[in-house]
Amino acid sequence: MPNITVKMFPAKNGDCFLVSLGLDNKKHILIDCGYVETYRDYLKEELMKIASNGEAIDLMVITYIDQNHILGALVFLEENNEAPFIEIKEIWHNSYRHLQFEKENVEKITEQELTILNREVVLGSSFLQHQIGKSRIRDEEISAKQDTELLTYVERTQEVLIKNLKLTIL
């Protein structure tokens, strides 16, 4: 009988789950990383344990671009890129870049909608502050700008962090 463990880490109004499958040579799926404090106070220690057992994160999934899903992931990937401590085999990221903007059975996008969309893409609804401990990531509002930053970082990580990292954009 397969052994499945689901750990849910404290993330306030956010999400951070670690699903582990099997008894020996476990497979691990990390779903979202909550806020920065979720990663630093809870998740990082668990990831270190997985790595010390010679295991990896087989799949990391970022489901949504809100701060309560993504900020911990930004810090995790940043730290793991600077000083790799755990292998990440595959990342799925539900990216802003891949939203569908085609509208069915409605008029063309309005000028007002286009202005709002451009503001979100270019400026984001807020800006990340640069200085929180060693990381430049801070628990603030998240936006399309930070979503794009994560995707860019993940794409860099693909080449720098891990051999054979497969990035799947949903």
78, with CB counted inside 10 A (0-12, 13-18, 19+), is middle
**Rounded-to-integer distance, Cα 47 and Cα 33, Å:** 11
The rounded mean pLDDT for the chain is 72
C-alpha distance across the termini of the chain, in Å: 31
For residue 1, pLDDT over 50 is answered with no
Q: Give the burial string for 82-100 (b: 16+ CB within 10 Å, else e).
A: eeeebbbebbbbbbbeeee
For residue 167, pLDDT over 50 is answered with no
pTM: 0.63
Domain boundaries, the chain: 4-169
pLDDT confidence of residue 162: 33
pLDDT confidence of residue 131: 30
> What percent of the chain stands above pLDDT 90?
36
